[in-house]
Amino acid sequence: MGHDHRMFIAADIGGTKARFGLYDPMADVRSPARTATLATAAAADPGDLVAEFAAHDDFTGVALAVAGAVVDGRARGSNLPWELDAAALRDRFQRPVQLMNDLEAIATFVPHAAASELEVLQPGVPVAGGPMGVIAPGTGLGEALLFADATGTYRSHPSEAGHLDFAPNNGRQDAWLAFQRQRHGHVSIERACSGGTLPAMYEFMCQQPGIEADPDVAVELRQADAAAGITAAALENRCPASVATLEMFADILAAAGGDLALQIVATGGIVLAGGIPPQILPALRADRFLHAFRHKGRFAHLTERTPVSVLINDSAGLTGAAMAHAAASAG
């Protein structure tokens, strides 16, 4: 290695799993010295995850991207088993600790994405340096914003727009809102459209008149990861209820992406990221996805011009956290 004394740790801590990387600041940030994926819930404390990954390697600092809002160096995530506190981690490791929202980390990576890592859904009319929005359904649903400074360099900003109110667009979505409101009271976009909510959406579809559930699929879903099973059954066209679930999921995701485009006038584009979009590309390539994205009444002229693409890189959050750490250390 030759640079052991200068290595730093970055991590992307999600609701289900935490990806870690050990980085040499003199090397390409896309090539960590080593990586590991640990189960988030298995640790009693986030510091234990860092310690387990670090093992005997010394490190100069830690950058953690977390699935939650980061305020004053503390992160609370609706999908995390504990709170993260930068000061407590600094005290434990006696090293600088940087906490950021996971979508902020993914957004940090987005301007550096290679063309081969972006699946274009709508070329649109990109404006160089124009605002960009990132929307990412995984366990939850996160969003982040990118604005260019005077030099044209993009800066990533966190957003909790995934917790905005869900706005239904048709009768079935009205019924879905009512179904979720009865269960949760407040229905955010995340409650309406995320990996964590797919099982409830499937359950809702099974109750709709004229929609049949394949009995074999219903049994499979009780035995394994239901969200992955629903999307697989839908893409293989094995179950009408799963197909209807994925269609509504994609419609709601598209509408939320269009909302984000309007909120920031995303002339630079909207990027779909996170764990789910790469796995449901056929549903996102379908005409109905762009129809739902553009469906903004008198402002459809803006969403029709917005570039839309899917980020195909499942370590973007980890790499983005490492990039943010490298930038902070350099600055």
**Are residues 294 and 201 located together in one domain of the fold?**
yes
Contact 29, 326 (CB under 8 A): yes
**Are residues 235 and 323 located together in one domain of the fold?**
no
**Are residues 190 and 210 located together in one domain of the fold?**
yes
Q: What is the pLDDT tens value at each position of the chain, 331 positions in all?
A: 444 458 999 999 988 889 999 999 999 999 999 999 999 888 888 999 999 999 989 999 999 999 888 999 998 877 788 899 999 999 999 999 999 999 999 999 999 999 999 999 999 999 999 999 999 998 889 999 999 999 999 999 999 899 999 999 999 999 999 999 999 999 999 999 999 999 999 999 999 999 999 999 999 898 888 999 999 999 999 999 999 999 999 999 999 999 999 999 999 999 999 999 999 999 999 999 999 999 999 999 999 999 999 999 989 999 999 999 988 887 6
Between CA 185 and CA 179 the distance in angstroms is 10
**What's the pLDDT score for residue 167?**
97
Amino acid letter, 44? A
In a domain, 121, yes or no: no
Identify the three-state secondary structure at position 150.
coil
In a domain, 128, yes or no: no
**Number of domains, the chain:** 2
Identify the three-state secondary structure at position 81.
coil
Show the DSSP H helices in the chain as ranges.
Answer: 46-54, 86-93, 102-109, 171-184, 189-192, 198-206, 215-223, 226-235, 240-264, 281-285, 287-294, 300-303, 316-330
**What's the pLDDT score for residue 330?**
76
In a domain, 217, yes or no: yes
In a domain, 150, yes or no: no
Q: Which two tokens stand for residue 137?
A: 């359904």
**Are residues 324 and 265 located together in one domain of the fold?**
no
The count of other CB atoms within 10 Å of the CB of residue 312 is 16
Contact 133, 145 (CB under 8 A): yes
**Are residues 186 and 305 located together in one domain of the fold?**
yes
**Are residues 217 and 285 located together in one domain of the fold?**
yes
**What's the pLDDT score for residue 148?**
97
Instruction: Map tokens 């992406």 to a residue.
Output: 257
Q: What is the CATH number of the domain that holds 41?
A: 3.30.420.40
**What's the pLDDT score for residue 5?**
57
**Are residues 238 and 319 located together in one domain of the fold?**
no
Contact 283, 235 (CB under 8 A): yes
Which helix (H) or strand (E) segment is 249 a member of? helix 240-264
Instruction: Map tokens 């609706």 to a residue.
Output: 78
**Are residues 101 and 20 located together in one domain of the fold?**
yes
In a domain, 28, yes or no: yes
Amino acid letter, 86? A
Instruction: Map tokens 């830690």 to a residue.
Output: 62
| Burial of 199 per CB tally in 10 Å (0-12, 13-18, 19+) | middle
Query: What separation in angstroms does the CA of 98 have from each of 89, 194, 236, 286?
Result: 10, 27, 42, 40
Can you give the residue range of the structural domain that contains 295? Answer: 163-311
**Are residues 211 and 322 located together in one domain of the fold?**
no
Between CA 129 and CA 151 the distance in angstroms is 9
**Are residues 326 and 281 located together in one domain of the fold?**
no
This prediction has a pTM of 0.93
Q: Which two tokens stand for residue 147?
A: 């604005």
